[in-house]
Amino acid sequence: MVYNIVFSERASKELNSTLKYIEENWSFKVADEFAKTIDKKISYVKSNPYQYPPFKNKKEIRKCVVTEQISFFYRILNDEVQIITIFDTRQSPSKLKLK
């Protein structure tokens, strides 16, 4: 089964700002490579969302590590995967919002 991917408004904004930051501070090529990497991870989640572990004590939320610095968190509802947030792991964990 292939699941539908839905980005929350927050996750969409975070992805756009991450790509913009990478492009402004490194290069378009690095931003493009990051985009390909996250697309690949989303493709994995689409086909098998249960392959990534539940996040700590929140069993309904799963974490996918994209790069050493970036992860995304998602939940599975019926045939849909909802990407809740994209998080820079260098930030304080208290900034992580999973609602």
Q: What does the alpha-carbon distance between residue 64 and residue 15 come to, in Å, rounded to a whole number?
A: 14
pLDDT (tens digit per residue) in 1-58: 899 999 999 999 999 999 999 999 999 999 999 999 999 999 999 999 999 999 998 8
Beta-sheet pairing, 4-7 with 54-55: unpaired
* Domain 4-91 sits in CATH 3.40.50.720: no
Alpha carbons within 13 A on the beta-carbon side of 38: 23
Q: What's the pLDDT at 21?
A: 95
Return the C-alpha torsion angle 66, 25, 10, 1, nearest 10.
Answer: -30
Kindly tell me if the per-residue pLDDT of 69 is higher than 90.
yes
Q: What does the alpha-carbon distance between residue 68 and residue 56 come to, in Å, rounded to a whole number?
A: 18
Q: What's the pLDDT at 3?
A: 98
If pLDDT is split at 50, 70 and 90, which confidence band does 83 have?
very high
